[in-house]
Amino acid sequence: MNRDTICVQGGYTPGNGEPRQIPIIQSTTFKYATSEDMGKLFDLEADGYFYSRLQNPTCDLVAKKICELEDGTAAMLTSSGQAANFFALFNLCEAGDHIVASSTIYGGTFNLISVTMKKMGIEATFVDPLCTEEELNAAFRPNTKAVFGETIANPALTVLDIEKFAKAAHAHGVPLIVDNTFPTPVNCRPFAWGADIVTHSTTKYMDGHGAVLGGAIVDSGKFDWMAHAEKFPGLCTPDDSYHGITYAERFGKEGAFITKATAQLMRDFGSMQSPMNAYMLNLGLESLHVRMHRHCENGMAVAQFLEAHPKVAYVNYCGLASSPYHALAEKYLPKGSCGVVSFGLAGGREAASTFMKNLKLAAIETHVADARTCCLNPASSTHRQMNDEQLKAAGVPAELVRMSCGLESSEDLIADIAQALDKI
C-alpha cells in the first residue's frame, strides 16, 4: 500500500461490529484464568498482555502502523524520543562498548551519548556527517556496537548519507540506527538505503499538534545478529533474567531486537507511552502525509523568500540548490525534507532579537514540527550561557534563527516575516 493509505488505515483493521477508531485500553493490568496461562506470557511462550509497563494493546496498534510506514518487521512505542534513542542504543551496548555517531545530532541525543551513557561506561566517537569513507572507517574500534545518525539533523539540518554510513557499519559487523524524526517515513524510509533500526521522536511531525510526547523504535529485521554473535551477547546468548531465552534464536532476525527491548529494557526502565497518548498520536498519524506535504511547501516558500532578502546573510534548507546538502536531499528526500528552516540575519544578534520580537504569527517556542509556526534564537534561549565564539563552535551562531514552518498559509507567513525584517 501507498504510505498515504497506511497513514490513514494502517495498524488496525476492526472486525465485524468492532470500534472504527482504535480502542483506548486504559488498564495497567490484564486478567487470566490460571497461573499457568500467565506463566506462559512471562516465559514469552504465548502472546498476550500482562502489565502496561511492558506492553499495552493501544500502544501496539500504533506501533504497528509506524512499523508498516517504515517497512519494518517489529516496532514499539516509548514515552519520548529520548527514551527511543536510549533504548535503541542500550539494547546493543553495555559498559566497555563504543558507539560511532554523527556529530550534528540533536542536542538531547548528543548529551545522552556523550555524558549520560559515558557514565555507564559506553564511549563514543563523533564524526562529521560529510566525512570521507576513510575518516568514517577510522572511527571504529573493535568494541564498536552501533552507528547512529539523523536523516535530517535537528537543528543543524544536515542530511545523512545513509548508504555511506550503512556501508561502514556493515563492514564492521554492526547495525546503523537512524533517527528519522524530521522527514518521517512519508519523505524518507531509511531501511531502503541500508539502515537497520529506525527511531522517532513522535512528539514532532507524527503527533504534529504539539500535544503529546512520544517515541518509537522500528526494526528492519535485516541485521543478522547471529552472524556477529560475539559482538551482541545480549541478543545471542541466553538471558538469565528471562529463563535462559536467546532472543536471536527464538525470535529470529525479524523479532529479536524489539522483543529484547520490550522484555528487558521496558521491564527494567519502564518508559512506556500511555495508551491515551498513543491514541492521540494515532490521530496525528492519520493526516501525517497531508501535513508533511504542506510543511514542506511552506518550508520551501519561506526559505526561498529569505534567501532573496537583503537582511538575511544565509539560509540552511536542503531543498535550496545553494545548500551543501542539496545533492543528498535529491537522493534521499525527493518528495521534500521538512518544514524547519534556519537562517542568519546580517545584522547579528541584535537583528535576530528585533526580528523575533516583531513576529506576529510565528511564536517563540523551544518546540519544532507542529501545526503552528514557531521560531527560536538559540543564542538568547537554549544556548544563552555561551559567548559568541562558543556559539559559533556549537553551530548556532548568535544571529541564527530556527523557524519551524507550520500549516498556515505561506503568504501569511511570508508577510509576517517581511514586516518583522522591515523593523530591523
Ligand X SMILES: *Cc1c(COP(=O)(O)O)cnc(C)c1O
**Which residues in this chain contact ligand X in the complex, by CB under 6 A?**
80-82, 85, 106, 108-109, 150, 154, 179, 181, 201, 203-204, 213, 215
Which lies closer to ligand X via its Cβ, residue 86 or residue 223? 86
Which lies closer to ligand X via its Cβ, residue 281 or residue 351? 281
H-type alpha helices, 3-106: 3-9, 35-42, 57-70, 81-90
Alpha carbon distance 378, 398 (integer Å)? 7
Task: Report in angstroms how near the CB of residue 106 gets to ligand X at its nearest.
Answer: 4
> What amino acid is encoded at 225 in this protein?
W
> What amino acid is encoded at 157 in this protein?
L
Which lies closer to ligand X via its Cβ, residue 183 or residue 344? 183
Alpha carbon distance 23, 20 (integer Å)? 9
Task: Report in angstroms how near the CB of residue 379 gets to ligand X at its nearest.
Answer: 19
Q: Buried b / exposed e across 275-300, counting CB within 10 Å, b at 16+?
A: bebbbbbbebbebbbebbebbbebbb
52 contacts 28 by C-beta, under 8 angstroms: yes
Task: Report in angstroms how near the CB of residue 100 gets to ligand X at its nearest.
Answer: 17
**Residue closest to ligand X (Cβ):** 81
167 contacts 149 by C-beta, under 8 angstroms: no
Say whether 95 sits in a helix, a strand or coil. coil
Which lies closer to ligand X via its Cβ, residue 248 or residue 285? 285
What is the distance of C-alpha 347 from the center of its chain? 34
Which lies closer to ligand X via its Cβ, residue 41 or residue 340? 340
Task: Report in angstroms how near the CB of residue 124 gets to ligand X at its nearest.
Answer: 16
Which lies closer to ligand X via its Cβ, residue 52 or residue 184? 184
Which lies closer to ligand X via its Cβ, residue 122 or residue 153? 153
Task: Report in angstroms how near the CB of residue 265 gets to ligand X at its nearest.
Answer: 16
49 contacts 56 by C-beta, under 8 angstroms: yes
Residues in the chain: 424
Among candidates 182, 216, 186, which has minimal Cα distance to 81?
A: 216
Task: Report in angstroms how near the CB of residue 146 gets to ligand X at its nearest.
Answer: 16
Residue 78 CB neighbours (<10 A): 30
Task: Report in angstroms how near the CB of residue 182 gets to ligand X at its nearest.
Answer: 6
